[in-house]
């Protein structure tokens, strides 16, 4: 059964916020363990899950609960092109930390606006 657009929007924004939070934790762990021998850095990606949901929307014209629930990202080990554990590069990790912080702030603003519109609609346009 298709889900209402406000439910999909709220779920997608929530999943993106959760992913940003997990990415922040993964980057912090990478920085903390940069000099630990044998440490394999972690990466968190949301883009592949979001692309799957978009293609499901394009194919079916609607998203069901299963497609929305698939918007969950997990930390995965980072490997280089040869399949070896990637080396933690502190400058790249710090850049990722800053980029993720900006993305998180944008997501919070988007969720705030979305919830504000829902509150406005629930109040019949009255503030």
| Residues 74-84: tens digit of each pLDDT | 888 998 889 88
Q: Which string of b and e fits 76-104 if b means at least 16 CB within 10 Å?
A: eeeeeeeeeebebeeeebeebeeebeebb
Is the predicted pLDDT of residue 34 greater than 90, yes or no?
yes
Q: Averaged over 16-20, what is the pLDDT?
A: 90
DSSP H helices, the chain, are: 5-32, 47-60, 65-69, 90-122
pLDDT of the residue at 98: 96
Q: Tell me if the pTM is above 0.75.
A: yes
Q: Is residue 15 part of a domain?
A: yes
Q: Is residue 62 part of a domain?
A: yes
pLDDT of 127 reads 62
Q: How many CB atoms lie within 10 A of CB 119?
A: 10
Asked if the structure places residue 126 within a domain, the reply is no
User: Is residue 60 situated within a structural domain?
Assistant: yes
In a domain, 127, yes or no: no
For the four alpha carbons of 106, 110, 112 and 113, in that order, the dihedral sign comes to positive
* pLDDT surpasses 60 at 1: no
Considering the domain boundaries, does residue 45 fall inside one?
yes
Number of domains in the chain: 1
Domain of residue 112, residue span = 5-121
Residue 29 lies in a domain: yes
Say yes or no to pLDDT of 36 above 90. Answer: yes
> Is residue 21 in a domain?
yes
How far, in Å, CA of 45 to CA of 76, rounded? 9
Residue 3 confidence (pLDDT): 64
């Amino acid at each position: 059964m298709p889900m209402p657009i406000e439910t999909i929007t709220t779920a997608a924004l929530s999943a993106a916020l959760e992913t940003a939070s997990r990415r922040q934790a993964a980057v912090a762990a990478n920085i903390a363990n940069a000099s630990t021998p044998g440490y394999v850095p972690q990466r968190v990606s949301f883009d592949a899950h979001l692309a799957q949901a978009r293609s499901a929307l394009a194919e079916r014209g609607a998203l069901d609960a299963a497609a929305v629930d698939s918007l969950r990202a997990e930390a995965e080990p980072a490997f280089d092109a040869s399949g070896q554990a990637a080396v933690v590069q502190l400058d790249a990790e710090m850049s990722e930390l800053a980029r993720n912080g900006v993305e998180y702030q944008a997501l919070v603003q988007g969720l705030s606006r979305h919830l504000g519109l829902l509150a406005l609609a629930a109040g019949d346009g009255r503030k």
